[in-house]
């Protein structure tokens, strides 16, 4: 049975059609041109920019032509991941779909429901002539999954609407009403080196056993950070022993809570036993502190090769201080939405280079002023340690507006349709809504979608019944607007 034999047939039909077009991030020319052709063939005003964003305008249905317009927004690109035993070329091959009960899967690859569902809903609305709706400005953005290049280059002058539905978060029972903004920062401690003198033994100090996690989704769980733990271990050793620091490293990605970290150190042979005792005591302390989120923290000294140079004592002190003092974890919770992290910083990656020690962080906040405050605090720390900090290009947040008229309308229609209240949430991660709000500050935004599971993995799948519920609700909401 074809995917489009299930309800909602029109939406699933278009999803099946765009799944034939390779559309990984950075490879959106074909899908962008398809969308342009789609709009033009239906006689609709259609625009495409150099970033490959596409906007298709549809007049209001009869009797509703003069209602305030509405933006419906989704991104056209998808994450391209596949199982090791799957033969698939994301540059040329269509996504192979299969239905298993209520769920739509791909065969061994990501499905592209994120955000192909939003694209398919937009196409179904543009293709229909029996739906009551206000004037629509349907926006398909490019390269959301990697650089946000599409939305960041979108021309705000293309839009008359001041209300927008984003279809890239939430679910059929949940409205998303805010997201964090953020950016990367690189904290670099210049390091001077000198020859090791006297009889010294080199050891590798390892931090293992941590669970790690996504710094946006799981930062509130209080998990241990291996870079911070390594800093504590070095500080404890240096307080009692003649420790010399040779190198430090840890973490893999700025937006992931690091699970492992290492330091190469040198100690007098007579101090090795004492060092192991210090680490055993600290390990027990850490396992007590993190007994719920990270109960298996393990510190160890293991053999390594011998080195002839180490950081100067002043350089080592600055490196350890940075590891201890850089803010990590939840820095502020939302006043408006219980349980929502408002501001956080993740100390994600640390490496030693010929120039020094670089620490890469991911700073997030849904309130721009608080993000600026943390930035100022990190700059003050850099000044105090006489080191360098560089802030990369960030992405804007979307601050929850409890007085949103669009949200009030959406909730009222949901209650009318289902006789129950929807869930309201914000996410401590980035969405394109923040960019739109930055470009058009008086834009009123909500976000919802159907239930999608295991996104960004080859097990990605969506609930067909949830998609049908989302479609029916969207039709009801458009009619009410």
Sequence spans of domains, the chain: 3-179+398-480, 182-391
Q: What is the pLDDT of residue 269?
A: 96
Let me know how long the chain is: 481
If you average pLDDT over every residue of the chain, what do you get?
95
Single out the residue of 410, 408, 456 nearest to residue 429, CA to CA: 456
Single out the residue of 8, 20, 105 nearest to residue 452, CA to CA: 105
Q: What is the pLDDT of residue 393?
A: 72
Q: What is the pLDDT of residues 146-205, one digit of tens each?
A: 889 999 999 999 999 999 999 999 899 999 999 888 888 999 999 999 999 889 999 999
Q: Is the pLDDT of residue 240 over 90?
A: yes
Q: What is the pLDDT of residue 216?
A: 78
Q: Is the pLDDT of residue 275 over 70?
A: yes
Question: For 3-179+398-480, which CATH class?
Answer: alpha beta
76-85, 262-271, 299-308, range with the lowest pLDDT = 76-85
Q: Which two tokens stand for residue 275?
A: 């060092």
Residue of 16, 28, 77, 425 marked active site: 77
Q: What is the pLDDT of residues 374-420, one digit of tens each?
A: 999 999 999 999 998 999 878 888 888 999 999 999 999 999 999 99
Q: What is the pLDDT of residue 147?
A: 84
H-type helices in 23-71, by residue range?
29-41
What does the CA dihedral 262, 268, 269, 272 come to, rounded to 10 degrees? -50
CB 116 within 8 A of CB 140: no
Q: Which two tokens stand for residue 16?
A: 């099946």
Q: What is the largest CA-CA distance in the chain?
A: 90
C-alpha to C-alpha distances, 237 to 196, 243, 272, nearest whole angstrom: 18, 7, 10
For residue 151, how many C-alpha atoms fall within 13 Å in the half-sphere facing its CB? 26
Q: What is the pLDDT of residues 351-368, one digit of tens each?
A: 999 989 999 999 999 888
Single out the residue of 458, 461, 462 nearest to residue 86, CA to CA: 458
- E strand or H helix at 151: helix 149-152
Q: Is the pLDDT of residue 119 over 70?
A: yes
13-19 long-range contacts, Cβ below 8 Å, gap at least 24?
14/119, 14/120, 14/123, 14/124, 14/127, 15/113, 15/116, 15/117, 15/119, 15/120, 16/97, 18/76, 18/112, 18/116, 18/119, 18/120, 18/123, 19/94, 19/95, 19/97, 19/106, 19/112, 19/116
Contact partners, residue 4, CB within 8 Å, separation at least 6: 10, 12, 13, 16
Mean pLDDT of 28-57: 98
Provide the whole-model pTM: 0.76
Residue of 144, 342, 432, 460 marked active site: 144
Q: What is the pLDDT of residue 120?
A: 98
| Residue 77 annotated among the catalytic residues of the structure | yes
Q: Which CATH number fits domain 182-391: 3.30.70.360, 3.40.50.2300, 3.90.1310.10, 3.30.750.80?
A: 3.30.70.360
Question: What is the pLDDT confidence band of residue 214, given thresholds at 50, 70 and 90?
Answer: confident
Single out the residue of 68, 93, 72 nearest to residue 82, CA to CA: 93
In sequence order, the β-bridge partners of residue 250 are 261, 350
Mean pLDDT of 243-264: 93
Concatenated DSSP letters of 444-476: EEEE----EESTTSTT-EEEHHHHHHHHHHHHH
Q: What is the pLDDT of residue 84?
A: 82
Place of tokens 């990190």: 378
Q: What is the pLDDT of residue 255?
A: 79
In sequence order, the β-bridge partners of residue 149 are none
Q: What is the pLDDT of residue 1?
A: 55
Mean pLDDT of 426-450: 93
For residues 152 and 391, give the distance between their C-alpha atoms in angstroms, rounded to a whole number. Answer: 18
| Residue 144 annotated among the catalytic residues of the structure | yes
Task: Give the pairing of strands 136-141 and 70-75.
Answer: parallel
What are the two backbone dihedrals, phi and then psi, of residue 136, each rounded to the nearest 5 degrees? -115, 140
Q: Which two tokens stand for residue 441?
A: 């500050």
CB 158 within 8 A of CB 55: yes
With a pLDDT cut of 70, the percent of the chain lying above it is 100
């Amino acid at each position: 049975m074809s995917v489009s034999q299930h309800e909602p047939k029109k939406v699933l039909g278009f999803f099946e059609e765009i799944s034939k077009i390779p559309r990984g991030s950075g490879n959106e020319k074909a899908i962008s041109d398809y969308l342009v052709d789609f709009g033009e063939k239906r006689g609709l005003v259609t625009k495409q920019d150099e970033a490959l964003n596409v906007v298709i305008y549809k007049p209001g249905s009869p009797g509703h032509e003069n209602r305030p317009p509405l933006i419906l927004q989704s991104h056209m690109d998808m994450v391209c991941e596949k199982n090791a035993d799957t033969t698939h070329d994301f540059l040329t091959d269509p996504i192979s779909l299969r239905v298993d009960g209520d769920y739509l899967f791909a065969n061994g690859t990501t499905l592209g429901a994120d955000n192909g569902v939003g694209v398919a809903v937009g196409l179904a609305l543009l293709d229909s002539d029996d739906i009551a709706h206000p004037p629509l400005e349907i926006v398909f953005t490019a390269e959301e999954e990697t650089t946000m290049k599409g939305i960041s280059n979108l021309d705000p002058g293309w839009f008359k609407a001041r209300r927008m539905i984003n279809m890239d978060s939430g679910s059929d029972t949940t409205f998303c009403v805010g997201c964090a903004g953020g950016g990367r920062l690189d904290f670099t401690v210049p390091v001077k080196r000198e020859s090791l003198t006297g009889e010294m033994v080199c050891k590798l100090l390892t931090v293992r056993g941590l669970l790690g996690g996504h710094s946006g989704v799981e930062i509130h769980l209080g998990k241990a950070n291996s870079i911070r733990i390594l800093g504590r271990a070095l500080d404890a050793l240096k307080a009692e022993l003649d420790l010399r620091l040779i190198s430090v490293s840890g973490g893999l990605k700025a937006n992931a809570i690091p699970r492992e970290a290492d330091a190469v150190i040198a100690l007098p042979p007579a101090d090795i036993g004492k060092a192991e005792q210090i680490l055993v005591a600290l390990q027990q302390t850490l396992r007590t502190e993190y007994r719920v989120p990270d109960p298996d923290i393990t510190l160890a000294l293991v053999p390594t090769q011998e080195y002839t140079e180490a950081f100067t004592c002043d350089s080592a002190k600055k490196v350890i201080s940075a590891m201890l003092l850089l803010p990590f974890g939840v820095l502020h919770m939302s006043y408006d939405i219980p349980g929502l992290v408002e501001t956080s910083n993740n100390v994600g990656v640390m490496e030693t280079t010929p120039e020094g020690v670089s620490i890469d962080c991911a700073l997030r906040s849904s309130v721009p002023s608080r993000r600026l405050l943390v930035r100022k605090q990190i700059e003050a720390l850099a000044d105090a340690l006489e080191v360098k900090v560089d802030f990369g290009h960030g992405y804007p947040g979307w601050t929850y507006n409890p007085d949103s008229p669009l949200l009030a309308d959406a909730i009222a229609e949901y209650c009318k349709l289902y006789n129950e209240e929807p869930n309201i949430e914000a996410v401590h991660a980035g969405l394109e809504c923040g960019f739109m709000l930055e470009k058009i500050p008086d834009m009123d935004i909500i976000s919802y979608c159907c239930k999608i599971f295991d996104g960004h993995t080859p097990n990605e799948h969506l609930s067909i019944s949830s998609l049908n519920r989302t479609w029916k609700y969207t039709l009801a909401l458009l009619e009410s607007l």
